[in-house]
């Protein structure tokens, strides 16, 4: 275990750290989720996905983008103070003002295209609408996947504002109106319906969403996968869980479900299961060391420290550790 004791060695060995898990990598949507996605695509409606954190809500967007070849996902992390403009574009007013102050006179009278290129940065939904009409580096229309994460954090009016923009496929950029050109095509962005973005909205159900918003979405709830589904998911994670076979996966899943039953707070989800198995295997621990725990083992404390991956509250961690120390886990 010496190579894993970064603190004592004063060296962080990247070779034994968790490799980057690509978003959507090895993603396995359930049949129900695939059906809901097909409905959303056919109706050209956003797909609202709920479920506890760690069940793959956000990863769905990355899976879709990769499967259909629609390029990188355009993500937007919702905040409690988000407004609809935040999803469309960001205007660097300070830099623009600085240029006007430095270059007073006609030299600072920029064209709309120059303002757009230098001081306007299109955000997730705005970029997707611009891409639909070929206002991008490739100069050709393309469909994009927009991920609006944790929409339940948004102020009350934002969800409906978002859907209105998606349905109209248009928005204005007022900062471009005062430029030299009078051509409305610069400040009025009108998307092409044939390349309407696929919008995935996620929610942790921390707040009730407005009924008019729910009416205009297709909905799906991702449950925690059952044992059979977990097995399929784990065996697809070959790059991360390269040492995992079906027999050891079964043992890990059985013990994971048993530990999950002991947790009363935030339940461990699929993501935590993957991290826990990787950590256990990298430390050369097996399930039997937890079900037949020995406090005199040289690595007993290290083994128990891994429970912090699954139990995220002090009371739950104490219950799980107590069950291990008293040999209550059967695996």
**Domain segments of the chain as ranges:** 31-221, 225-325
Amino acid 6: pLDDT: 84
Asked if 320 and 260 count as a contact pair (C-beta separation under 8 A), the reply is: no
- d(C-alpha 88, C-alpha 129), whole Å: 9
- Residue 36: the pLDDT is 98
Mark out the alpha helices in 14-109 (DSSP H runs).
Answer: 31-43, 57-68, 93-102
Structure letter (DSSP) for residue 7? H
- Using alpha carbons, select from 236, 232, 228 the residue that is nearest to residue 254: 228
User: Strands 218-221, 89-91: parallel, antiparallel or unpaired by DSSP?
Assistant: unpaired
pLDDT value of position 180? 59
Residue that is written with structure tokens 């319906």 in the block: 193
pLDDT for position 92: 79
CA–CA separation, 304 vs 226, rounded Å?
A: 25
Nearest CA-CA partner of 18 in 32, 7, 4: 4
pLDDT attached to residue 139 = 85
CATH class of 31-221: alpha beta
Q: What is the pLDDT of residue 115?
A: 80
d(CA 312, CA 181): 57
**Interior/surface letters 3-16, b for 16+ CB within 10 angstroms, e for the rest:** eeeeeeeeeeeeee
The confidence score (pLDDT) of residue 184 equals 62
pLDDT tens digits, residue range 44-68? 999 999 998 889 999 999 999 999 9
> What is the pLDDT at residue 88?
96
Residue 136's pLDDT is what?
80
pLDDT of amino acid 118: 83
Query: First CA to last CA across the chain, in angstroms?
Result: 24
3-state secondary structure at position 207: coil
pLDDT in tens, 110-169: 777 778 878 889 999 999 999 999 988 788 999 999 999 999 999 989 999 999 999 999
DSSP state of 23: T
Rounded CA separation 19/285 (Å) = 19
- Give the three-state DSSP class for 147: strand
The pLDDT value recorded for residue 7 is: 83
**pLDDT, block means (10 residues), the chain with 331 residues:** 75 84 89 97 97 93 96 96 94 74 61 80 96 88 97 92 94 79 72 96 90 94 94 92 94 97 95 96 94 92 96 97 95 79
């Amino acid at each position: 275990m010496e190579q894993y004791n970064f603190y004592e060695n004063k060296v962080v060995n990247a070779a034994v750290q968790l490799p980057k898990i690509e978003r959507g990598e090895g993603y396995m949507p359930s049949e129900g989720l695939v059906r809901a996605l097909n409905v959303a695509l056919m109706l050209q409606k956003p797909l609202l996905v709920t479920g506890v954190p760690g069940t793959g809500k956000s990863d769905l967007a990355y899976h879709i983008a990769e499967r259909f070849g629609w390029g990188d996902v355009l993500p937007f992390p919702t905040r409690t103070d988000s407004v609809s403009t935040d999803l469309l574009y960001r205007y660097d007013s300070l830099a623009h003002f600085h240029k006007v102050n430095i270059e007073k006179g006609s030299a600072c009278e920029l064209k709309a295209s120059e303002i757009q290129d230098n001081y306007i940065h299109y955000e997730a939904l705005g970029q997707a609408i611009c891409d639909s009409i070929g206002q991008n580096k490739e100069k050709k229309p393309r469909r994009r996947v927009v991920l609006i994460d944790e929409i339940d954090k948004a102020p009350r009016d934002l969800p409906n504002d978002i859907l209105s923009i998606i349905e109209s496929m248009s928005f204005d950029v007022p900062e471009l109106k005062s430029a030299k050109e009078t051509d409305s095509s610069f400040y009025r962005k009108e998307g092409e319906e044939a390349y309407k973005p696929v919008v995935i909205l996620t929610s942790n159900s921390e707040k009730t969403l407005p009924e008019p918003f729910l009416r205009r979405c297709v909905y799906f709830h991702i449950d925690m996968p059952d044992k059979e589904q977990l097995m399929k998911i784990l065996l697809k994670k070959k790059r991360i869980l390269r040492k995992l076979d079906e027999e050891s996966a079964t043992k890990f899943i059985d013990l994971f479900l048993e530990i999950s039953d002991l947790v009363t707070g935030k339940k461990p989800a699929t993501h935590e299961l993957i991290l826990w198995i990787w950590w256990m295997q990298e430390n050369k621990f097996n399930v039997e060391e937890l079900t037949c725990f020995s406090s005199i083992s040289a690595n007993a404390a290290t083994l128990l420290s891994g429970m912090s991956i699954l139990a995220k509250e002090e009371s739950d961690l104490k219950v799980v550790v107590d069950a291990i120390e008293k040999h209550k886990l059967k695996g």
